[in-house]
Amino acid sequence: MDSARRSEALREEMELHLAEKAEELEADGLTAERARAEARRRFGNVGLKHEQSREIWMTRFFSELGQDIRYGCRTMAANKAFSALAVLSLALGIGANTAIFSLMESILLRSLPVADPESLVVLNWHSRPPKDGDKESVHVVHGLQGIFWPGANGALVSGIFPYRAFETLREENPVFSTLFGYFNGHDRTLTVRWQAMSASTEYVTGEYFRGLAVSPAAGRLIDSEDDRLGAAPVAVISFATSQNRLGGPSNAIGQSILVDNVPFTVIGVAPPEFFGVDPAAAPEVYLPLHTNVLVDGARAARIYGDENFYWIEMMGRLRPGVSMAQAQAVLAPRFHQWVATTAKTDGERVKLPALILNPGAEGLGSLRRQYSKPLYVLLTMVGLILALECANIANLLLARAAARRREMAVRLSLGAGRPRVVRQLLTESVMLASLGGALGVVFAIWGMRTLTVLLSSGPRNLTLHAELNWSVLGVTAALSVVCGLLFGLAPAIQSTRPDVMPALKNGRGGGPRRRAQHVLVVAQIAVSFLILVAAGLFVRTLNKLHSVQLGYSRENILLFTVNARQAGHRDPEIVTFYADLRKRLESIPGVSSATLSHSSLISAGLAGSAIRGEMKIGAVTIDDAGVLAAGPRFLTTMQIPILAGREIDERDQRGSTPVAVISEELARTYFGNENPVGRRITLVDEKRDLEIVGVSANLRYGGLKDEEESSMTMFVAASQISPGRMTYALHTAGDPLRYVKSVHEIVREADSRIPVTNVVTQAAEIDRTISREIMFAKLCTGFAVLALLMACVGLYGTMSYDLARQVGEIGIRMALGAQRGAMVWMVLRRVLILSAAGLAISVPAALISSQLVKSFLFETQPNDPGTLALAAVVLLSAAILAGYAPARRASRIDPLAALRHE
Amino acid sequence: MGRKAKKNDSLPGSLDMLILRTLSLRDVHGYGIVQFIQQSSDNELFVEEGSLYPALQRLELNGWIDGVWGVTPNNRRARIYKITAAGRKRLAVETRKYAKLTLAIARVMGAE
């Protein structure tokens, strides 16, 4: 009887007692009221008595639990090897689950660390894409600074707006108590006391901190007065920055800092847990929105008035009692009305953006969009592995349960209740699982570090806030208990089956237990096949990515980025500065050549073309050519062969003839068999011509996974455009990272205000673009090995146990003349039957479930027959290997000994 | 766990014994036990009524008595308690202990 029912029954009994007593007293002549009071008085404190009774049950519960735990400890100590194995494998499984879950929690589930995050909403819009059907792009968005992402039904979704839209929505807003805007200022050069370093910045409107309800760790935060043209330039810095760069939060207030050489005064420090509104980013400096005019110059001033330039992001805080749907109903028509006035043509009018509100509690969705699917896939895999482990331990416990059947039978026949014995067995398994969980937390901490490194070696500036907090630990604890119950229940029920007599008689296990064991083994084989297939697919994807022809050197190249413009260098001097720096770098002993370009080749697709506008050869427009602004000796450094003419070199100066080098594919497409050297390319927007001076071999411009594979590349001279940020590349003898120190020294000598950022080898820079694939391949290989091991242990255990039961039978057979080979075959045949059953279930499952990871694969079909076959072969070999030891033992059985034993 | 010492309980554990004794004669519900003890002791023994219920719980958990839902003589739904085999053994033990104790006390009181 459970506690609540017992408590209710007791209450009813006491009520009845009081009623009967009162009746008796009434019969003696008391008034009804007096009688009730007297009955109560004589009874004593009803509540207290009720409590005392409850206490009796609880005491009993705990004392029994104590007994069970003591008994469990003894059992565990008696089977040290088993206990250690079970705890260790559970720790691995629970640890992996905890680590992946903690990442999920930090990325997908956790709220922004601000007051009442539930009332925050993010403003987005969606519209039909600018290009559909016709190739012309027609859209009210004429220019933008920010990102889009694909929505449902091919729609375009974005969170950036023109400043006018922000102003329009902010006016007399009946649904928001505050509406605030912000935009990513990206990396800037932050100079504190002549020390320059790169820092991430966020421009925020005056309502930002008030809207988020954040209070400062020191000083004050940016308010509306600071966010005006002409206001004194002030900055708020992150807590970490105040500690690392300014000597603590309180010291920071009032100090002067330079952001891209523009002076700002620090007025406040954000609280330690605050990381802005995007869980992927962690701004180090917050600047008032309008100060971008000071930092970015006149171009920034123009974007405030441009109704077709989209750049500012917005969040609002709902007024109390207003729902998101109500807010949407009020704001969407208002936005529609405004945006309709910005459309210039009918084409633009049919694709007007429509406002949508999204919950803002978890911050911006950039990380969620990127990682939710990979994380769910990983979580599924670790979940499966944990299930495998549970199955394994259940299997071992089943075997042990058979051994303990006599013990259980004795207990049952001595009058122990079956539930009581089951409870004691479950206590044992939950204890095992809890130990596993506790150890699993240690594994989880290690796993989280590894995962964070694996993940954050990917996109730059990705900040993960994964940690072991209470909700993660709660999940771990729940997982442990559930595991314990899961793997403990079947054996517990099995071993306490009420047919006591047969067990007492011979002590050998019966049929049902064996069947349960076989079902578990088949399930294990099926699950490990799934994981093997996944690992195979991901490894194959990684191999495909690694075998993509780059056309340039991957090894022995050191890359790093500097931005002289942010340190105050201007045209035309900046060109000379970059050229001098290149020469100095080339003089480092061991560096055979040095060059620079506006981006590394692998991330050139993201950095954008070096030249805007249309390019023509005669009357023909060049389509889809990647343009890289490169300095002298680029082709030499990258080891790209020169097929005709020359590469860009030091002759190509600002004043001299503008030049270009084109790739073979571009040359063949537009010039056929003619020699392109000496021909001209017209830049329509810039109204000038480039002279083709050379042809390079084909190379891969942009990322490895880019769908539109085009080897049409054009190099222009970096000195002949207006350069901003530059990425230098050094071809080195030996490990490129050995030269990092010299690089820092040389850049510091050239200009100490310029920080060196993103120092990385070419190989690592390339791997960074496929970090997800690398992570999947590595993790899944690990998972697959683990799963295979589990399945083998399960198989081995089951076979060994079967064998122990059949010793007599085998003895008889051998005595009757069976060959040893036949005995080996008998065991192996059983292994193969079990494996085949597992595969029969798993192959269709793999074919279906691999479709779910299709988007993670590269040039690999989800039902890739090679991978499936390989996984099957690996699994079968492992199974035979696991079955061979018991098989051999079967063949070695001495018939005499076996029969005598019987 | 420290249960408070019962007031006016000159013989510790005697309540358990009285309940078992009552139930060994007939199956009754809680209030019936109180009435029986009172009547059969000629109103000399008054059970502290509230304490009856924790005692019943304890006896039930020890497996000495068994409570099942039934109907009282007044046709009311109530838990009717029965003594179990283990309860009868326990009663025998308690009775012997009680006899020894009262005899010992009587000897002391009767000694010159």
Taking residues A720-746, report their average pLDDT: 91
CB B6 within 8 A of CB B51: yes
Q: Which helix (H) or strand (E) holds A499?
A: none
What confidence tens digit (pLDDT) does each residue in A101-137 have? 888 887 777 777 788 888 999 999 988 877 655 555 6
A503 against A431, higher pLDDT: A431
Tracing tokens 């008035």 back to the chain, one arrives at A305
What confidence tens digit (pLDDT) does each residue in A23-71 have? 888 888 888 888 888 888 888 788 888 888 878 777 777 888 888 888 8
CB contact under 8 A, B30 and A13: yes
What confidence tens digit (pLDDT) does each residue in A875-898 have? 999 999 988 888 888 888 777 777
- Domain count within chain B: 1
Tracing tokens 């517990």 back to the chain, one arrives at A492
Q: How far apart are CA A384 and CA A97, in angstroms?
A: 10
CB contact under 8 A, B57 and A50: no
Of all residues in chain A, the one with the smallest CA distance to B54 is A53
Tracing tokens 């699994």 back to the chain, one arrives at A875
Is the pLDDT at A730 greater than 80? The verdict is yes
Lowest mean pLDDT among A116-120, A372-376, A724-728, A785-789: A372-376
Question: In chain A, pLDDT over 70 holds for what percent of residues?
Answer: 93
Q: Which of A9, A48, A55 sits opposite B79 (nearest CB)?
A: A9
Q: What is the dihedral of CA A61, A65, A71, A74, to 10 degrees?
A: -160
Buried b or exposed e, range A719-754, using 16+ CB within 10 angstroms? bbbebebbbbbbbbeeebeebbebbeebbeebeebb
B19 chain-A contacts, CB cut-off 8 A? none
Residue B3 inside a domain? The answer is no
Is the pLDDT at B9 greater than 60? The verdict is no
What is residue A105's DSSP assignment? I
Residue B8 inside a domain? The answer is no
What confidence tens digit (pLDDT) does each residue in A247-286 have? 889 999 999 999 988 999 999 999 988 888 887 778 899 9
What's B32's domain CATH number? 1.10.10.10
- Chain B closest CA to A414's CA: distance in Å? 14
Range of the domain at B91: 14-110
Is the pLDDT at B5 greater than 50? The verdict is no
Residue B52, SS3?
helix
**pTM of full prediction above 0.90:** no
- Chain B closest CA to A412's CA: distance in Å? 16
Query: Which one, of A553, A557, A552, A581, lies nearest residue A732 by Cα?
Result: A557
Q: Identify the band that residue A2 occupies on the pLDDT scale cut at 50, 70 and 90.
A: low
Token pair for residue A456?
A: 């954050």
A48 chain-B contacts, CB cut-off 8 A? 50
Residue B2 inside a domain? The answer is no
Q: Which of B3, B50, B61 sits opposite A44 (nearest CB)?
A: B50
Q: Identify the band that residue A180 occupies on the pLDDT scale cut at 50, 70 and 90.
A: very high
ipTM at complex level: 0.79
Taking phi first (over 0 means left), then psi (-120 to 50 degrees means alpha), and beta for anything else, what does residue A172 get?
left
Q: Identify the band that residue A322 occupies on the pLDDT scale cut at 50, 70 and 90.
A: very high
Residue B5 inside a domain? The answer is no
H helices of A361-457, in order, are 366-403, 405-413, 418-456
User: Tell me, what's the pLDDT at A457?
Assistant: 61
User: Tell me, what's the pLDDT at B8?
Assistant: 43
What is the CA angle A148-A151-A155, rounded to 5?
85
B30 chain-A contacts, CB cut-off 8 A? 13-14, 16-17
A80 against A134, higher pLDDT: A80
- Chain A closest CA to B109's CA: distance in Å? 33
User: Tell me, what's the pLDDT at B3?
Assistant: 37
Q: Which of A6, A13, A24, A26 to mutate to test the interface with B (most CBs of B within 10 A)?
A: A13
User: Tell me, what's the pLDDT at B1?
Assistant: 36
Gyration radius (Cα) of chain B, Å: 15
What confidence tens digit (pLDDT) does each residue in A68-79 have? 888 888 888 887
What is the CA angle A13-A15-A17, rounded to 5?
70
Residue B27 inside a domain? The answer is yes
- Chain B closest CA to A416's CA: distance in Å? 12
Q: How far apart are CA A305 and CA A314, in angstroms?
A: 17
Token pair for residue A793?
A: 């242990």
A44 chain-B contacts, CB cut-off 8 A? 48-51
User: Tell me, what's the pLDDT at A282?
Assistant: 82
Q: Give, in order, the Cα–Cα distances in Å from B48 to each of A43, A213, B35, B62.
A: 7, 61, 12, 21
CB contact under 8 A, B74 and A20: yes
Residue B7 inside a domain? The answer is no
Q: Which of B57, B60, B61 to mutate to test the interface with A (most CBs of A within 10 A)?
A: B57
Q: Which of A21, A55, A56 sits opposite B31 (nearest CB)?
A: A21
Of all residues in chain A, the one with the smallest CA distance to B35 is A21
Q: Where are the beta strands (DSSP E) in A129-175?
A: 143-144, 148-150, 156-158, 160-161
**Residue A163: other Cβ atoms inside 10 A:** 21
Residue B89 inside a domain? The answer is yes
CB A811 within 8 A of CB A899: yes
Q: Which helix (H) or strand (E) holds A175?
A: none
User: Tell me, what's the pLDDT at B7?
Assistant: 40
Residue B37 inside a domain? The answer is yes
The DSSP bridge partners found for residue B68 are B80
The DSSP bridge partners found for residue A662 are A695, A714
Q: How far apart are CA A297 and CA A404, in angstroms?
A: 82
Is the pLDDT at B4 greater than 70? The verdict is no
User: Tell me, what's the pLDDT at A556?
Assistant: 93
User: Tell me, what's the pLDDT at A459?
Assistant: 53
What is residue A678's DSSP assignment? T
